[in-house]
Chains A and B, each alone.
Chain A
Amino acid sequence: MGKPAYRFVCTKSFWREYEALSADKRAAADGKFLIFKKDPFAKELGTHKINRLSALYRQTVWSVTVLGNLKSLFTMNGNIVTSISIGNHGVYG
């Protein structure tokens, strides 16, 4: 059985935050997103649950390490992968 065919969407906030990144961070993000779009749980992404946000959102919230403290949060509903936000605040995991 192959990997599931994901559909990737994001919030407008995520898009704005992505566009506001510095050039080097955006380049790092682009590289990670290429991997992310193949497999959100690829080892090199360091994907992990954010327990407290998951409890508060009543749905599992995952965090991907983009570059250093810069993390990207996403959720999954069936095959739909929704990127919520990208940032470096402590709550991003």
Chain B
Amino acid sequence: MLTKSKVLAEGPSPDALLQVSKEWQPAQEDEVSKLEKRYAEWAAAAESVQHAAAKRLYENKDVCPIEVRFHLQNLSALLFKGQNIVLTAIQLQAKGEVPTDFFEAEIAIIDGLVPVLVSRLNEWHGTIDSQTDIPDSLKKAFAEAKAGEVIPFPA
């Protein structure tokens, strides 16, 4: 193994070493580029997740339970990753590394999707009682069934 001193003593000059290193190591992406890339991935995921949800859940007549879990996973991931991007942008602003209006449009798009995703999460993964479009009589019937409050079926 070459030690640091050996590398410096036997290797190329510092300038040449820099050049050699550049050729061996890919250029480090700056934070802004990384964030832009993450946003592009998030936006593409937002589109594909909503498309998959419509096809596999909202419009599918024969949904299997695993698809409900995929829906929960993917919507939660969109919320998590979206807010992670927003927080990173805010932190870059706070460090003074970017202008104060940096990523404003992207943040608006991410935040605009939050109520849609939260609403979908509640519609499919909330409780029956929390649904506004389910009549109280049906909520009561489900509560009775869950509690095992049943009687023989009409003959």
Instruction: List which A1-34 residues lie within 8 A (CB) of chain B.
Output: 8-15, 17-18, 30, 33
Residue from the list B142, B144, B154 in contact with A18, Cβ < 8 A: B154
Residue numbers in A under 8 Å from B142 (CB-CB): 57, 84-85
Q: How large is the interface on B (under 10, 10 to 19, 20 to 34, 35 or more residues)?
A: 20 to 34
A11 with B150: in contact, given A56-B127, A56-B131, A87-B137 (CB under 8 Å)? yes
Per the bound structure, the CA–CA distance linking A53 and B135 in Å amounts to: 12
Residue in A closest to B122 when the chains form the complex, CB atoms: A56
Does B124 lie within 8 Å of A56, measured CB to CB?
Answer: yes
Does B63 lie within 8 Å of A51, measured CB to CB?
Answer: yes
Residue numbers in A under 8 Å from B124 (CB-CB): 52, 55-56
A84 with B126: in contact, given A10-B154, A15-B151, A91-B138 (CB under 8 Å)? no
Interface size counted on chain A using CB atoms at 8 A: 34
Question: Is there a chain A Cβ closer than 8 Å to B47's Cβ?
Answer: no
Per the bound structure, the CA–CA distance linking A54 and B64 in Å amounts to: 10
Interface residue SS majority, chain A? helix
Residue numbers in B under 8 Å from A85 (CB-CB): 137-138, 141-142
Question: Is there a chain B Cβ closer than 8 Å to A89's Cβ?
Answer: yes
Question: Is there a chain B Cβ closer than 8 Å to A75's Cβ?
Answer: yes
Question: Is there a chain B Cβ closer than 8 Å to A83's Cβ?
Answer: yes
Knowing that A13-B144, A49-B61, A49-B62 are A-B contacts, what are 17 other residue pairs whose CB atoms are under 8 Å apart, sorted by A's residue number? A8-B153, A9-B150, A10-B152, A10-B154, A11-B141, A11-B144, A15-B154, A17-B141, A18-B154, A51-B57, A52-B123, A57-B146, A82-B150, A83-B153, A84-B145, A89-B134, A91-B134
Residues of B within 8 A of A (CB): 57, 60-63, 65, 68, 123-128, 131, 133-135, 137-138, 140-142, 144-146, 149-154
Query: What would 17 A/B residue contacts be, using CB atoms closer than 8 Å?
Result: A9-B152, A9-B153, A10-B153, A11-B141, A11-B150, A15-B151, A17-B141, A33-B153, A53-B128, A55-B125, A57-B128, A83-B153, A84-B145, A85-B141, A85-B142, A90-B133, A92-B138
